[in-house]
Amino acid sequence: MAKIRDTILQIEPYVPGRSTKEIAEEYHLKESEIVKLGSNENPLGPSPKAVKAVKRETKNMHRYPESGLDDLKKAIADYSGTSPNQIIVGGDGADEIIDLLGKTFMETGTEFIVPIPSYMYYEYTLRPYGARPAYAKWDMEKNTVDTKSVIESINDKTRLIFLCTPNNPTGGLIPKDDIIKILESTSALVVVDEAYFEFARVSNIELLEDYENLLILRTFSKAMGLAGMRIGYGISNPRIIDYMHRVKPVFSLTRLSHVAALATLSDKDYIKRSVEFSIKSREYLYSRLLQMDKIRVLRSYANYLLVDIRETGMNAGKLTDELLKRGVIVRDCTSFKGLDEYWIRVSVGTMKENDKFIEALGDIIE
């Protein structure tokens, strides 16, 4: 048998997520009736301009994508107030950028810091590089990072520090002053994950001018409504971006994703509507959840809400199963390190979807 690396032998087997079709079959539901509030997708759907651009480009599906992506880097630079040579585009969403960070910075014996609970994919992606996670704390009471715990976790093996703001799954923000404190405590690369920044109307882009150990991570999967097209980007100083390009897959962004991203960035009206609607939907859902007994909801600046359900007497496995029976998918957060089994995360939906979720939840817990 071919020799598999020891690091890989220790990784847990892969369990694929169930498709909507499988869920529909198991719970005897119509696929079209299922309300999907589990993945923080955009309730408005994609930009109509993106749909049009993609349909037009289908005739070229047999042609390789472009590798330089100069026009897209230019458009992202305009959107973010940076320069094209500060930008690297990923063809598997921001997840590809995380993988490139692994290739560029991580090897056996190195460490990365994550204040937990946070996005679990950092760990999933970096462990195969032989890197170890060092867990710092997310302060669940204040719903922000415990800066001291991050700084105390830094040692000479630290290569990357992940700061997700708004944080997935808690929705809380990290104040700029805390990011600065962390940037100034280390020469390791601080990765500020702004996947959801549009919904908070706050960014840390301008810190790039003063700190060369900063990389901002962003995605087209949320406010841009293109989760299925797998487009993400990293912004940092040109030297780091150049090294990351040396290990980047050359053609990973599909031709259709390329034109979809360009068309969406040009659709200012869609972006505005998309952000405004998700914020409105979040505030509505928050106010409805606040009114429910046995439910505690955290203030969120993203397009989802984290909900503490321990008072219901059910754990998240049981509650999400009950919601599925009623046709609503939310995220059971038990697998997030740093959370116990009594949390669910619900994404903002259309108003109709929000009401269907609230109704189903009320039906279960009252």
Question: Which residues between 222 and 241 bind a second copy (CB under 8 A)?
Answer: 225-230, 239-240
* Per-residue binder mask for a second copy (CB under 8 A), 284-303, x = binder: --------------------
Sole binder of a second copy in the list 34, 51, 140, 180 (CB under 8 A): 51
Q: Can you say whether the dihedral through the CA atoms of 84, 260, 278, 328 is positive or negative? A: negative
Region 310-329 residues binding a second copy, contact defined as CB under 8 A: none
Report the nearest approach of a second copy to the CB of residue 73 (Å): 10
CA distance 182 to 188: 10
User: Which of 202, 199, 174, 157 has its CA nearest to residue 118?
Assistant: 174
Sole binder of a second copy in the list 5, 148, 268, 299 (CB under 8 A): 5
CA distance 162 to 177: 16
Task: Choose between 107 and 283: whose C-beta lies nearer to a second copy.
Answer: 107
Task: Choose between 173 and 240: whose C-beta lies nearer to a second copy.
Answer: 240
Both structure tokens of 282? 């979040």
Report the nearest approach of a second copy to the CB of residue 156 (Å): 10
User: Applying CB under 8 A, does 17 fall inside the site for a second copy?
Assistant: yes
Helix/strand/coil for 319: helix
Task: Choose between 107 and 276: whose C-beta lies nearer to a second copy.
Answer: 107
Q: Are 178 and 192 in contact (CB under 8 A)?
A: no
Task: Choose between 45 and 362: whose C-beta lies nearer to a second copy.
Answer: 45
Sole binder of a second copy in the list 29, 65, 139, 334 (CB under 8 A): 65
Angle 351-365/268-290 helices, nearest 10 degrees?
Answer: 20
Tell me the site size for a second copy, rule CB under 8 A.
Answer: 87
| Cα–Cα separations (whole angstroms), residue 359 to 252, 292, 347, 355, 366 | 42, 11, 15, 6, 10
Report the nearest approach of a second copy to the CB of residue 294 (Å): 30
Bridge partners of 308, per DSSP, are: 296, 343
Task: Choose between 190 and 307: whose C-beta lies nearer to a second copy.
Answer: 190
Q: Are 348 and 319 in contact (CB under 8 A)?
A: no
Largest CA distance in the chain: 59
Q: Are 247 and 104 in contact (CB under 8 A)?
A: yes
Beta strand 304-308 with 296-297 is: antiparallel
Region 245-264 residues binding a second copy, contact defined as CB under 8 A: 245-252, 254-257, 260
- Of 63-71, 144-152, 293-301, 345-353, which segment contacts a second copy by CB under 8 A? 63-71
Report the nearest approach of a second copy to the CB of residue 281 (Å): 14
Region 336-355 residues binding a second copy, contact defined as CB under 8 A: none
Region 72-131 residues binding a second copy, contact defined as CB under 8 A: 91-93, 95-96, 99, 103-108, 121, 124-125, 128, 130
Report the nearest approach of a second copy to the CB of residue 273 (Å): 13
Task: Choose between 187 and 291: whose C-beta lies nearer to a second copy.
Answer: 187
- Of 3-11, 195-203, 294-302, 305-313, which segment contacts a second copy by CB under 8 A? 3-11
User: Which of 213, 356, 206 has its CA nearest to residue 285?
Assistant: 356
User: Which of 20, 16, 58 has its CA nearest to residue 37?
Assistant: 20
Region 178-197 residues binding a second copy, contact defined as CB under 8 A: 187-189
Chain centroid to CA 256: 22
Beta strand 144-145 with 296-297 is: unpaired
CA distance 109 to 134: 12
